[in-house]
Structure 1
Amino acid sequence: MNSLDLDDCFQTALDLAKEAGLIISEAFKKAKKVEEKTSPRDLVTETDKLIEDQVISKLQELYPNHKFIGEESTAAGIKCELTNDPTWIIDPVDGTLNFVHSFPYTCISIALWVDKKPCLGVVYNPVLQQLYTARKNAGAFLNGERIRVSGKEDLSRSLVVMEMGYRPDEKKMEVVHRNAKKLIERCHGTRALGSAALDMCLVAEGAAEVYWENGLHAWDMAASVLLITEAGGVVLDITGGPHDLMNRRVLCAASPQLAQQMVQLLEVYDEDRD
């Protein structure tokens, strides 16, 4: 894809994110129509479905040869597959549980990947008016201002964002709790805020130094991966190998030195791939 194509795609992603933001903002304080997917903690609202339908319909109209991965369409049975073709990856409401509770840490995430690499990412929290944007080799921005990772190298002086949400898998929860205990004992502090896309953006803007999670999906992190790397950060697999978007885990850090400390510390739990 040439630069003119990517400029057009980026503007489209911005426009769609802002339109979705209006829908999220309007519904945020209202009663939500909520359905359970796999558990009482795995939820979908009519807002999730409405936004994903609108975003994918518009993208299909504009880019009929592109492919798509969406959280709700995947939940409905559409195959989740990342190829070398231009692929839009959409999470219509990341942090749905937050959204259901009117906790103001929720967003829409839109990414475009080409040749299995991120080309652009937009993450928008309309409640707090935080618009994160990135394009390959063009930097990362929050509300139009350039952002950078903190660059810290010492875990004992680093703020770690992690999620410990319950899963009905005893072995996994044991691993999660062991990892959490080790980090609580060694890092400067921990936070759990309920939106993977926004958690990763905190690392990109230097507000936290580390984010890691086991059990994500491609749409949770597709846009924010680019935001972190364009902000000078590191994105790896928890094992220390290259990050694989479909492998359902991620380690983000403000420096290579910090990433290696995390790799040596964390215990890995293997999930089924997307």
Structure 2
Amino acid sequence: MTLDLQEVLDFAIELSKQAGEAIVKGSETRFESAAGFDEKKNTADLVTETDQSTEKLVYSAIQAKYPDHKFIGEESWAAGQQADVTDAPTWIIDPIDGTTNFVKGFPFVCISIGFVYQSEPTIGVIYAPFLGYLYAGRKGHGAFVTTPLHTQRRSLPLVEPPPLPSFKQALIAFEWGSDRSLDVMQKKARSYQRLVGDSAAGVEGGQMALGVRSMGSAALNFAHVAMGCLDAYWEIGCWAWDVCAGIVIASEAYVFSFDQAAVVS
């Protein structure tokens, strides 16, 4: 039986809004009760009750609608569940992308819902409930965004900028991640230096990028590149739930040069 992918997309959009409501309520409860958080692998890798309860909400809804589909979630993986992608239709979820932002009350927080069909990222939905921005895409059918000011769907990218004359005009997203080991930090520091350094002032290989932004959410970085607000996004060590939805949305907005191995292997 052929799967109705438009129906899957519509379902994912509604599910993202339900999850967004849960995230906002969780934030209100957290600040009212001074609820805490736990660490996963280190003090830069956090998890809250809202992460876990939101993932359960999403999982339950998917199981009720599509009982034969597989599910990979960041929190269930952290609890020991396997995260292998097969030929089976598979949902790849980050219940709260930007948990540190959520803990601190910084609004760059989102639910990221990716769907892999026939081993390919096919549907992506990213919803930022504190901002009211919803991004969605379906492979071969484009991507769009809605916002509080523009409630009608607008195709991505919002504008089609001409090719940049050089890297000096590029605004780039760059994240440091939670792996703070020496080897990783040295590699990232070297990359950062080359991205923003001034070769004329002695920085070897420096490209002197216009600017760098670090928002703390891989999914929203993808979304902002898709919109055309950012020119590029650079990071080492993303997981499938960080990038699955974003890859679909950005690819449908004519963004290129992704390493999709993290999603399909």
TM class by smaller structure: 0.7 to 0.9
In the other structure, the counterpart of 2:7 is: 8
Rg bigger for which structure? Answer: 2
Quick check: 1:130–1:142 contact (8 Å CA) kept in 2?
A: yes
**2:45 aligned with 1:34, yes or no?**
no
Change (3 A) 1:48 1:151: farther
Instruction: Describe how 1:138-157 pairs up with structure 2 within 5 A.
Output: 138-143=141-146, 144-148=153-157, 150=161, 152-153=163-164, 154-157=166-169
Distance 2:177 2:167 in 1: 23
In the other structure, the counterpart of 1:199 is: 221
In the other structure, the counterpart of 1:226 is: 248
Task: After TM superposition, give the deviation of residue 141 of structure 1 in Å.
Answer: 0.7
- The unaligned stretches of length 5 or more in structure 1 are 238-242, 248-273
In the other structure, the counterpart of 1:175 is: 187
Distance 1:55 1:151 in 2: 39
In the other structure, the counterpart of 2:94 is: 91
Question: Residue type matched to 2:261 in 1?
Answer: D
The number of residues matched between the two structures is 242
SS in structure 2 at match of 1:171 = helix
Worse overlay, 207-216 or 165-174: 165-174
**2:210 aligned with 1:188, yes or no?**
yes
In the other structure, the counterpart of 2:23 is: 24
Distance 2:183 2:48 in 1: 30
For residues 9-59 of structure 1, what are the alpha-carbon distances to aligned partners after superposition, in whole Å with 9 as ceiling and x for unaligned? 112111110001111112334234311111111111010000101111111
Task: After TM superposition, give the deviation of residue 134 of structure 1 in Å.
Answer: 0.5
Distance 2:35 2:117 in 1: 35
**Relative contact order, CA 8 A, sep 6+: which one is greater?**
2
For residues 59-88 of structure 1, what are the alpha-carbon distances to aligned partners after superposition, in whole Å with 9 as ceiling and x for unaligned? 112111111110000000000111111100
Worse overlay, 92-101 or 180-189: 180-189
In the other structure, the counterpart of 1:235 is: 257
Q: Quote the RMSD (CA, aligned, Å).
A: 1.7
Quick check: 2:238–2:262 contact (8 Å CA) kept in 1?
A: no
**2:244 aligned with 1:244, yes or no?**
no
For residues 197-238 of structure 1, what are the alpha-carbon distances to aligned partners after superposition, in whole Å with 9 as ceiling and x for unaligned? 00111100000000011111100010000111100110323x
Question: Residue type matched to 2:262 in 1?
Answer: L
More strand by share: 1
In the other structure, the counterpart of 2:203 is: none
Task: After TM superposition, give the deviation of residue 113 of structure 1 in Å.
Answer: 0.6
SS in structure 1 at match of 2:191 = helix
Change (3 A) 1:134 1:246: closer
Quick check: 2:244–2:263 contact (8 Å CA) kept in 1?
A: no
* TM-score normalised by the chain length of structure 1: 0.84
Out of 197, 202, 208, the position equivalent to 2:230 is 208
- The unaligned stretches of length 5 or more in structure 2 are 147-152, 198-206
Change (3 A) 1:177 1:145: same
Distance 2:167 2:110 in 1: 28
SS in structure 2 at match of 1:10 = helix
SS in structure 1 at match of 2:85 = coil
Instruction: Describe how 1:50-129 pairs up with structure 2 within 5 A.
Output: 50-129=53-132
Quick check: 2:175–2:235 contact (8 Å CA) kept in 1?
A: yes
Task: After TM superposition, give the deviation of residue 245 of structure 1 in Å.
Answer: 2.4
For residues 122-147 of structure 1, what are the alpha-carbon distances to aligned partners after superposition, in whole Å with 9 as ceiling and x for unaligned? 00001000000101111111111111
Task: After TM superposition, give the deviation of residue 166 of structure 1 in Å.
Answer: 5.4
Task: After TM superposition, give the deviation of residue 167 of structure 1 in Å.
Answer: 2.6
Question: Residue type matched to 1:26 in 2?
Answer: K
